[in-house]
Structure 1
Amino acid sequence: MTAALLLRNALRTARQRRALDIAWRALPWLLAAATLALRLSGSATAIAVLLAGAVALVVVALYLARRLDTRWLVRELDAQRRDLEDSSDLLFASESSLTGLERLQRARLQQRLQASGAPDLRPRWSTRAIVVGAILATLVIAAIVSWPSRPQAAFDNVLAHVTGEAAAPTHTRMLEQRLQVTPPAYTRQPAREERGLDAKAPQGTRLQWMFRLAPQPTVAALVFHDGRRVALRRVGETWHGEHVLMKSALYRLELRDALPLREAKAHRLDAIADRPPQLRVLEPDRSLSLLTPGQRSWAVAFEASDDYGVAPSAQLRITLAQGSGENITFREQTMALHGRGSATVKRYAQRLELAALGLAAGDDLIVQLIVHDNRTPQPQSARSPSLILRWPSDLGTQTTGLEGMVKKVLPAYFRSQRQIIIDAEALLKQKKKLAGDHYLQRSDEIGVDQRLLRLRYGQFLGEESDGAPQPPPTNDAEDAHDESRAPDAPHDETAAPAHDDEHATPGRAPTFGEDAAVLEQYGHTHDHAEAATLLDPDTRTILKAALDQMWQSELNLRQGHPELALPYAYRALKHIKEVQQASRIYLARVGPELPPIDESRRLGGDRAGLGRRDDALVATTAADPTLATLWQALDEAPSAPRGTTVADFDAIDFTALERWLREHEARIADPLAFVTAIDALRNDPDCTPCRRHLRALLWPLLPRPAATVPRRGGGDASGRRYLDALRQEATQ
């Protein structure tokens, strides 16, 4: 290690020792100052004094430590190291200012420092000053704490002391007040002591009051705004009372056979209601789940939270619904789950074995979690949403109904347009490997499939359906067409395909006299009423667009151009998907039958049964005029002449207002605010800010005014002449 680094470390260590020594000497006196501030002004002032003193102590310690600079280090080195030959200043001099002899001397000094190391230059501890200061500060703190408290002198006592006469007291003074708040044990909140008489605590909290009054009254009690009373008992010179907080209330101290209190304002107690547990489903992510092939278990997970704590165990209710129609049976069982997590947030998870529960095809498995909180003596519970696992009996079954019902499942052949696209794309990839005739044949076959699908969709729009009924197209369209011909029969490209034969001979001969059979063989039907009204107008428009794209796709496929048909096929598939995503398809319904219009009175001038034009409007009455009347009574009357007092305004019916508040307490967010405002205005009727405050509280509760009929305009000159003519005709 170089000499320069040794000297820097020695200087830094010396500064740290100096700062710590100063801090230890000043810390006891800082604590004494904070104790004095606590005794005189309270905890807020004591904390402020402690923080300010700590900041000042740090600043002073750093300043004094910085005074140990290079000159101090040179003096200490010369004093403690005689082998440096009083030349320590050469170690800190610049290279350019030294002569050759001085450079030689500095090199010798550096070698000596490196050989023996830097000396310990740390200042000594001020042990005596620290011990004496700590003892004296401890005595001062003990004296401050043990010094008797002096009650605040009232103005009457000061006046009596100055004049030498004992003035008679005019008010009862509150010498000491204390409110002990002990929340219920299940909330895990510590007991505390309030400096004032207002408190906010959970429901079920035990409140304990202590008062010391002068002069002493005969009877003292706490009176609540709803009429409840808590009698105070006297123990020596203090009054004590207890109460369990179950609902928010206002209260004041009431004395009997005593002078009035100097401050008789009402105090507020806010009861914090214990909320029920909150449940959230973590797994699965939907309320209805369908059983997948090969699934043997079902995992469910929940998260429960509460403001004070959740019970460690919960009940999982499992219901198995079996059967269909009216023959449905239910089997219910309960399983206990143990949660993991903190006291207020727990996670419950379980994997259910389906075979053990007896789940079979067509059954529904319904689970629901029930959790409780730790409130005593009656815990609150919450239930999660029901989760359903369904094992469909037949996924291919579609729901059908009679006319006027709702059909929720689309036909199966609504999903074959994608196979046409797949076949066309596969044909394009094989174009270079196939002969021209075979390529055209394959393209024509895909076009025939496209035509069949177009006709199937056209039935839902009431369009014409060609040929005999054909089965829905399948993915094996190529094999189906190949098998329909003889293996050795040559294919005629000019001949029309069998699908285009609109008058193919059916398998059954028509019966004489059956109109339906003749029409089935020699004609075709279209524009069926049911088919034309199967879809709503928006869905019909989308399906019509899909048919147009299918037509263009079929045209290009039949001509041997699948690359030109693919864009139309894709657009047709897009429209079909929009039809599939329609939530419901409504079947035909019977329209409304309106009564016929009686045209015999038209232009006849008969006004019998018509309303009178000159009927007067009837004024509506407010649904609840109590608040409107009170709000108007609280008006400050800004237009009143100078010198008008509040007593000249409308009298306020406080009884009616309090009765309305009791009847409609659920509509008010903060009922105690109303009680406080009413109490303040009742005690001081001339308080204008109190009237404004109560009026502002009433404003959001006023009912919305009913809609009124606007006054009709007078009209222009021609309109007035027409109305005058009607009035003259009525008087004749």
Structure 2
Amino acid sequence: MSRELNPNHWVAPARQRAAINAVLVWSPVVLVLAGLCWRLGGIGLAAAVLALGGLALGLAARHLASRFDQGWLVRRLNAREARLEDSAGLVFAAADLAPLEQLQAERIAARIEAIDPETLADGWSQRPIIAAWLLGAVALAAIILWPAEASAPPLAAPSQTEAAAPGQPRLTGQRVRIIPPAYTGLPARYAQSLDIRAPMGSRIEWTLAFTPQAKSAALQLVGGQTLPLTLGEEGWSGSLRLDIPSLYHVTAEGNRMSRTAHRLEPITDEPPQVQVIEPASGLVMIQPGQRRWRVVFEASDDYAVDQMAQLTLTTAIGEGENVSFSERSRMVSGTGDPKRRRFVVDLDLAAFGLQPGSDLVAQLTVADTRAPGPQVVRGPGVILRWPGAVPASADGLELMAKQTMPAYFRSQRQVIIDTEALIRERGKLSADDFMVRSDTIGVDQRLLRLRYGQFVGMEAEEAPRRPPLPVAEKDAPAEQAEGEHHDGDGHDHGDAPESPVFGGLGNITAEYGHVHDESEAATLLDPDTRELLKSALDAMWDAELNLRSGQPEKALPFELKALDFIKRVQQASRIYLPRIGSIQPPLDMARRMAGKREGIVAGGASLTPFAIEDAVPATAWRALSSPQAIDLGGLDRWVRTNSARIRDPLAVLAAIDALRGDPASGALREKLRQQLWAVLTRPPAQVRRRHDGGSVGRRYMQGLR
């Protein structure tokens, strides 16, 4: 008998039973998913899910059946039939066999042919099949019997309606569904009225009913487009994406259902906020032997903060103006509630190459989950500082041990960097925020100018000095004026002269005052260097003046000039400035003594008309007090253009729209006038005249005259 047997004949029943078994177990799952999709999305979505589920189930069954191959057949035969003597592999071997192996294969093949292939297949999974179909049947029955509109409330009666003419449609039912954007994580809800306030980007769905049935219906946006409604089973329906604030009317066959406009008010997504939790101070000094530094940031948002954030690490190594900066970034992961995540960062200080006099600045940049276009915010920075080495004191050699230029002189460059950043961000900031930041940089410039002023003997606050007291008052020991210098006040007055000489300036200084310019810091600079430093102080003064007045563009050239003077003070030992006189323009000999004045005197100054910022609402406010006509279109455009500075622009637009419908109504004119009064800019505070004291006070003042 030939040993060659076809293995597919023996594995076919096992493959078929395994595939059918898998289909019977998982088919209820596919049917339940298709039923859910049919209930939620319609027959089209259900058919697509059913097709995809059937395809996936067929591929899975085919993969499961492919495991029953020739190797499985050999193992199954040897395990089941002891009389095969573990030699079933010889029967299905593809290679040539030895004579003894051929003899054994022929004996085993005869025994295998007597075995029924159906007995080699696994049994049916009866319990899983029954359980799957029972659960599937219960789920399908629940899906079919569940009410189609279980989550949708019935149409509610409208809150505002107008009496319609006989035979005209009137609004009798309304339902407004609000579907927030997915990134907010908020569930869909139903509004209680036609006035809607929802997150920006929400989808608003209206369902309206009219009695008698209207031929057409629409939503008319005030000053904008018209949204037609389509008739369905429950009534007229339509949807709109809420992006900008606006007003709208419900119309049926061209007639408004209410004179009052309804509001569409989007809620703006606020940018995330970042704060430093650890360390408690924004400036931390490195401790001896410290190798690691932990920084903890906390980011919060009204909806959710992105789990990944960017950490920016900036190192400033060096002293004076010669500081080298390097910046590196890495991603960090946050933990906790999505609305309030914490970012914990452990830094290995050895990787940054810090040295005495260096700074390490850590800043976190986070983003929210708004889609599209997440909002990115860079939080405050925290500084780890390695203090510079303090020079050793040397008795008798103090001038050699002092540093001429301290390390804090490098902050002039930071003032320039802050000013340039403020100029770039001018368009993104409001007028008040821009003024506050400019004034803050001006304060930094002032502090730096006062620090430099110590090197030229400048007073700390530039306050005018008191004149010296007369000799009689000076000699009085019991009555000493406040602010007068005396022994023990911290100043070196020197030895008083034995006999004062009239007219001796030096003696007057020695007797009644002291010289602040002769401080230790001032004596370290030679006269030429002092002149350069004074020039830098003058430039700082001009920069501070422009910064405090909100003009950083004009302050930047003076800041750069001051930085240039500081570098020259640091680098130069002597500076020579040539003395030159003023250069007068050349004389025009052709016009000399001719009496012609053309081109000499400039043209007369012209008056620039004063532009009133609130001219449009102010004019309308005055006109509303009388029955005269008003330019409502121009007022509407002004309100839309200046909506950012108005607290409630929709209320003003609603008052304008109501008056447009009934221009002769005195109540509507007064309502719009009240809305415009809140829009007008308040006049500046006036100086109040002091009370004259009544009749008694007036007689007293008359007596004084």
**Please, what TM-score do these two structures have when normalized by structure 1?**
0.43
**Please, what TM-score do these two structures have when normalized by structure 2?**
0.45
**Which structure is larger by alpha-carbon Rg, 1 or 2?**
1
